[in-house]
Structure 1
Amino acid sequence: MTRGSLGIAAIVLAAGCSSRTAPLHKLLTPDATGLPMIARTLRAITASRANPVIVVLGHRAAEIRSAASTDMPAQNAPRFITAPDHACGLSQTLAAGIHAAGTYPAVAGALVCLGDMPLIGTALIDRMIDAFLTSPDHPGVLPVHDGRRGNPVLWSRSLFPTLMHLTGDQGARPLIRRHEPDMLRVTAGPEITADFDTPARLADFARCFTDG
């Protein structure tokens, strides 16, 4: 981000305990090339226009950070933080990331990404950023496929205070319901709803990215 310009931060939520795939942790699971899921997710995000990239850790933080750093390019390397209250729910992990993003004065908004959505590509991220920076008076940007919204979600800085005061384990869903009519929409593919949070889906992920 150049001095005096506005930019968009990316917040990658990677603090969960991955209970649905226990004893395996989904973010540590390798794809067909051996790259851990969290590193695969970050590869697309760090290649985008998002800056800074903030990874919020919690459960098994040291292992997730090590896996996330696998084959990490030096350019746009992420900043790692730990959510002290991550065990209290997704909202606390999100709040920690939003707080960190808010310390950058030139950040006009934050793209909230899930660590277990490695199919999200750089092109979609950049189109969402472009859409918001073209019309920054909107509360944010939603990706939509066949009429269904998904992740990631981009939020305007004006909503950072509200995002930091959410509670529970449902993240920003109540805020989406409140502001959805006024949010920008970007057409996307089915990857915006494709996560890997069951043993069967982890087996699918292990066969992904055979071309590297």
Structure 2
Amino acid sequence: MRASLEVGSYRQELRAAPGPAGREAERPPRGGAGRALPGAGRRAIQPQPSQATPNDAHSKPLALLLPAAGSATRMRGGDKLLEEVGGEPLLARQARAGLAAGLTVIVTLPALDHPRGATLAGLDVIRVPVPDAAEGMAASIRAGVAACPEEAEGLMILPADMPEIDAGDLATLAAGFAEDPARVLRATGEDGTPGHPVVFPRRLFAALAALKGDEGARSILKGEDVRLLALPGRHALTDLDTPEDWAAWRATRSG
């Protein structure tokens, strides 16, 4: 397996390219933390178990962004992305899941020499430093879009602090996106509650690259006819931000 690809800088200028269904899209160049926040959605897809297989997960290339440049201040000195899940740090687990699902994996980091980056050693992922990460989620999203391969038809954004998301979930979403790659696809809990990840088609890359501040992609989702796809249980809803969250989650799994 190849070593991680490090992207030391990225351009924010985008060049236009034809988008799906005759719409104009913005195609980012090669190069290169945040969370796609809630947006309205209609036409929900019924819950399905995570049965998609990695090799046939999608017919067009899809990239996965793991925003890991934030400071995780609510952990009060700890680092939620270094918490162990399944015997390895959460960030490494999520990156490995993306690779197993057949996705191009992009990980934003505070700096390439940050301890989080060390957990990715030996994994074929694109590591992107985000020097302006203090701005908020938008900085990582911009960096992730700029690092997307030119052939990517969409970008799946997965908050890296969601330990129940697995390779099967990611493959299921990739397969669902391939059915209608011009529309946003959002994961929900089994009960239909909107969650994460969210997959954005290429036609929205320019809008993602123009985001500012700590809002994430909420403003983009508001204007979209979002397709919903249910994942098992609370996979799409469980995110752990504090030591108490982690303790409670581990208690339910050990019980």
Q: Please give the range of the TM-score, normalised by the shorter of the 2 chains.
A: 0.7 to 0.9
Paired residues for 1:170-189 under 5 Å: 170-179=215-224, 182-189=225-232
Question: What corresponds to 1:83 in structure 2?
Answer: 130
Show CA shifts across 1:124-183 (max 9, x none): 211211122121222x1111221211111000010000001111112111212221xx22
Q: Secondary structure at the match of 2:106?
A: strand
Kindly indicate whether residue 176 of structure 2 is the aligned counterpart of residue 131 of structure 1: yes
The CA distance in 1 between the partners of 2:166 and 2:253, in whole Å, is 13
Indicate the structure with greater helix content. 1
Question: What corresponds to 2:243 in structure 1?
Answer: 199
Match of 2:98 among 45, 53, 58: 45
**Conserved? CA contact 2:90–2:163, under 8 Å:** yes
The CA distance in 1 between the partners of 2:208 and 2:102, in whole Å, is 22
Match of 1:11 among 65, 75, 78: 65
Instruction: Give the 3 Å change call, closer, same or farther, for CA 121–108 of structure 1 in structure 2.
Output: same
The CA distance in 1 between the partners of 2:174 and 2:120, in whole Å, is 23
The CA distance in 1 between the partners of 2:75 and 2:111, in whole Å, is 14
Show CA shifts across 1:10-45 (max 9, x none): 111000100001211111122363x11111222211
The CA distance in 2 between the partners of 1:206 and 1:64, in whole Å, is 22
Match of 1:155 among 200, 203, 206: 200
**Conserved? CA contact 1:132–1:184, under 8 Å:** no
CA RMSD in angstroms comes to 2.2
**Conserved? CA contact 2:101–2:170, under 8 Å:** yes
Show CA shifts across 1:46-70 (max 9, x none): 11121x211011168520001233x
The CA distance in 1 between the partners of 2:76 and 2:86, in whole Å, is 20
Q: Which amino acid aligns with 1:130?
A: A
The CA distance in 2 between the partners of 1:209 and 1:63, in whole Å, is 27
Instruction: Give the 3 Å change call, closer, same or farther, for CA 204–133 of structure 1 in structure 2.
Output: same
Q: Secondary structure at the match of 2:161?
A: coil
Kindly indicate whether residue 147 of structure 2 is the aligned counterpart of residue 93 of structure 1: no
The CA distance in 1 between the partners of 2:120 and 2:253, in whole Å, is 17
The CA distance in 2 between the partners of 1:193 and 1:142, in whole Å, is 12
Deviates more, 1:35-44 or 1:60-69: 60-69
Question: What corresponds to 1:141 in structure 2?
Answer: 185
Instruction: Give the 3 Å change call, closer, same or farther, for CA 55–127 of structure 1 in structure 2.
Output: same
**How many positions carry a matched residue from both structures?**
195
**Conserved? CA contact 2:111–2:129, under 8 Å:** no
Bigger Rg, structure 1 or 2: 2
What residue ranges of structure 2 are gaps of 5+ in the alignment?
1-54
TM-score, length of structure 2 as denominator length = 0.70
What residue ranges of structure 1 are gaps of 5+ in the alignment?
none
Identity of aligned residues (%): 28
